[in-house]
Amino acid sequence: MPTLQLAEITHANRPAQLPLLSKLADILATSPAVTHLMVRGSLAHGTADRLSDVDFVVGVHDAQLPSFVEALDALMSIEAGALLPGWRDTIVADLGGLGMVFLVPDDGRLHQIDLYLAPASRIPRLRETVSTAVILDRTPTPAATPDIAVAESFAAAFIARPRTCTELLIEHLVLAVLLHKRIKRGQRFVAYSEWHRLHTATKDLIKTALAPASQFWGWYQLREEIAVTPIGRACLGDLDAAISGPAIPEGTDVNAAIERVLALVERACPQALDGLHDAITAYRTYQELV
Amino acid sequence: MDSTLTALAGQIAQLDAVDSAQLERMRHEALTTQAPWKAEYGAYQSGGWWTTSLMNASGDAADVTIGDCAARPTGLLGQMPATAAFLADLGLNFMWVRLARLEGNAFLWEHRDYDELDQVERHRLHIPLHTNSSAFLVTSGTKVHMAGGRIWRLTPTYAHGVCNLLGPARIHLIADVYADDAYRRLARRPALHPAVAEPLPAASQTVLAERLETARNMATLGYTEAAERMLLRLFYTYALPEGTAYDLIAELHTSLGNMEAATRWDTAKRRLLALTA
C-alpha cells in the first residue's frame, strides 16, 4: 500500500479554534496556581464545528481560588482581549467550582470561551464524571483541610451573590451569542431553552433595577411592584414584547431583543453601561448588528 | 478654541474632508487586497502593529523601514486604483506612504518620538480607512479618536500612546510628506473639533493604589507580564502625570523585591519618554 501524505490536509482541516485554544492554554498555564487544564466538549471529542465554543476546566490550588477568580477578568481582558467581564455561568452543572463565560474576538469574530474553575481538590472526582482531554496535569500534594474550606466557601458565596444590572446585561449579550449558534445549527430545543433564559434575564434585570428589595419570587407580582411609574410600565412593556414573540427565535428576533434590552438599561439603570460603551459598540460590530 | 485644545491641535489636527464614496472604495481595497503585512516589534508596543508600503524608495511593498527618499509606487499600490487616485489628487511630495494595521487589544505604549536632527520639514498625515471607537490616541491626558472622513495631521512632540482596545483591526493610510505649497494648501486651516477630544478622568491615589494591588495579586499568581500590561494600560484610562504607568510598574517590582526588574522599567521609562536626566 502506498504511503499517503496526509499531514498537510490534516493541518488544513484542524478546528479553526485550535490556535485560540492553544493561546488561552498558554495564558492560563503561566500561573503555578493552575494545577490542571482540561478541554471538554466538542473540541475534546473531535466533533467541533466552526461555531464551537472553547471549553476549559481549570484546576486551581484551593487556597488560591479566590485570588485567581479576582484576577480573571483583568487577565482575560489584557491577555486574551476579552470584550466584556466574564459572565457567571448559570447554565453549567455544579462540579464544586464556578463557571465563567467570556467573549473573545479572534480572526474577526467573537468566540465563546467557557472556563470552569475548580479547586484542585475537586479535580479527581470531576474527572470521574466529566469526559475531558487533559492538556496540563500538575497534580499537587493534597490540599490542607482549611484550604479546601476556603475554596468551598468562596465558590458557594460567589454563586449565591445576587447579580448586578451590569452582570445581567452581560448575560443577555452572552446568551445572544449562544442563541445565534443554536439557530445556525438548527438546535431548536436548546434555542427554546436559552431564549427562555434570555427573557428570564430581562425580568431579573428589571427587578434588580426597579425592585431591588422585592419580596416576591420569580415572575410573581411584577405589575404590582413595577408598573407603578412610567419607567416601570415602559420596562414591563418591553418584557411583554419579549415574551410575545415566537417560542423559538430567528436571528432577527435575538438581535431585536438585544437592542430592546440596551434601550431598557439606558432607561432604568444607565450606570450599568458605565465603561461598557466601547465594548457594546465592538459587540455590535462583531455580531454584524451595524 | 480654549488653550488646552489649541495646544492639542498643535499635536493632532483635522485637515480636509475625504469624499465618503472615495473613502469607501479605499476601505474596500485596504480590506481585500492581499498585502505583505510586516510586523513591527519594539519596546514601545504590545505587538499587533503591522505595516505595508504603498510608496517608498524601493517600490517593494514589504520594505517598511521608512527614511528620506523620493517615493515611488509599490506593486501593491498598483492593485489599489482608488487609493492611487486619491494620493495622486492630493498632489503632495511623498516621502513614504504606508497602510498601518493596529489589531484589537494592541497598544503603542506611552512614549515620546525623538526629534530627528535634520532640518527637512516633513509631516505625517493619517487617513483612517477602517476604525472603531475603542481605537484612539492619548496625549496630555486627552483621548482623541481619529474618526473616518478626514485627513488628520500628527505632530506628536508630547508623550503619547495609541491603542485599539477591542477591535476590529484599525487600518490607517499614513503618508509622510515633505512640506511644499501643496502641503501648505492642505494644512491651511488645521482644526481640532472639541467633540473629538475627550479629557480622561484623573486617577486618585486610592484608585492607583487599588490598581497596584490588583497588579500585585496578578504577579503573585505568576501573571507578571499581564500585571505590567495592566499598569501600562492605565495611561489609556486616566489622565496621569507623564511616566506614571512606568513608575507604578517599578513600584510593583520593588514591592515584590525584584530590584532588577524595577531598575529595568526605570530605564525603559527614560528611553521611551526620551528623558535625559
Q: What tens digit of pLDDT does each residue of B138-183 get? A: 999 999 999 999 999 998 788 999 999 999 999 999 999 999 999 9
Residue B96 lies in a domain: yes
Clarify whether residues B48 and B146 are in a common domain. Answer: yes
Rounded to a whole number of angstroms, the distance from the CA of B32 to the nearest CA of chain A is 14
Interface test with B, best of A26, A75, A76, A78 (most B CBs within 10 A): A78
Determine the residue of chain B that is closest to A109 in CA distance. Answer: B168
ipTM value, please give it.
0.91
B195 and B216 share a domain? no
Written as tens digits, the pLDDT of chain A (290 aa) is: 788 888 888 888 888 889 999 999 999 999 999 999 999 988 888 888 888 999 999 999 999 999 999 999 999 999 999 999 999 998 999 999 999 999 999 988 899 999 999 999 999 999 999 999 999 999 899 999 999 999 999 999 999 999 999 999 999 999 999 999 999 999 999 999 999 999 999 999 999 999 999 999 999 999 999 999 999 999 999 999 999 999 999 999 999 999 999 999 999 999 999 999 999 999 999 998 76
- Assess whether B242 and B133 both reside in one domain: no
Distance from CA of A123 to the nearest CA of B (A): 20
Pairing of strands A109-119, A54-60: parallel
Domain containing residue B220: 205-272
Cα distances (Å, whole numbers) of residue B211 to A71, A83, A185:
11, 20, 42
Tell me if B55 sits within 8 A of B96, measured CB to CB.
yes
**Fold (CATH) for A15-160:** Beta Polymerase; domain 2 (3.30.460)
pLDDT given at position B276: 74
Split at pLDDT 50, 70, 90, the class of B117 is very low
Report the pLDDT value the prediction gives residue B1, as an integer from 0 to 100: 52
Q: Which pLDDT does position A44 carry in this prediction?
A: 87
What sign for the dihedral angle of Cα B221, B225, B229, B231? positive
* Number of domains making up chain B: 2
Residue B39 located in a structural domain:
yes
Rounded to a whole number of angstroms, the CA Rg of chain A reads 21
Given a cut of 70, whether residue B118 has pLDDT beyond it is no
Does the residue B15 lie in any domain? yes
B217 and B186 belong to one structural domain: no
Q: To the nearest whole angstrom, how far is the Cα of B225 from the nearest Cα of chain A?
A: 9
Asked if residue B8 is part of any domain, the answer here is yes
Distance from CA of A276 to the nearest CA of B (A): 11
Say whether both B78 and B34 belong to one domain: yes
Among the partner residues B105, B132, B223, nearest to A281 by beta-carbon distance: B132
The runs of H, that is alpha helices, within chain A are: 7-12, 18-29, 42-45, 65-80, 123-129, 145-160, 165-185, 188-210, 222-226, 230-243, 251-268, 277-286
Contact B219, B239 (CB under 8 A): no
Domain end, chosen from B175, B199, B223, is at B199
Are B233 and B144 part of one and the same domain? no
Mean pLDDT across B114-138:
85
Same structural domain for residues B226 and B170?
Answer: no
CATH number, residue B114: 2.60.120.330
| B11/B139 same-domain check | yes
The answer to whether residue B123 sits within a structural domain is yes
Which of B169, B199, B229 is at the close of a domain? B199
Using one digit for the tens of pLDDT, what is the confidence trace for B27-65? 999 999 999 999 976 778 888 999 999 999 999 999 998
In this complex, do A278 and B165 lie within 8 Å of one another by their Cβ atoms? Answer: yes
Q: Are residues B214 and B186 in the same domain?
A: no
Q: What is the pLDDT of residue B119?
A: 64
**Which of A43-57, B12-26, B214-228, B252-266 is least confident?**
A43-57
pLDDT on residue B115: 58
Query: What values do phi and psi take at A237, rounded to 5?
Result: -60, -40
| Mean pLDDT on B70-96 | 97
Which residues of chain B are within 8 Å of residue A78 when distances are taken between CB atoms? 105, 226, 229-230, 233
Round to whole Å and give the CA distance between A148 and A146.
5
Contacts of B223 in chain A (CB under 8 A): 30-31, 71, 75, 79
Q: Which residue of A has its CA nearest to B106?
A: A81
Residues B220 and B181 placed together within one structural domain of the fold: no
Predicted confidence at residue B225, as pLDDT, reads: 97
Q: Which of B199, B221, B250 is the last residue of a domain?
A: B199
The answer to whether residues B250 and B220 belong to one domain is: yes
Residues B176 and B242 occupy one common structural domain: no
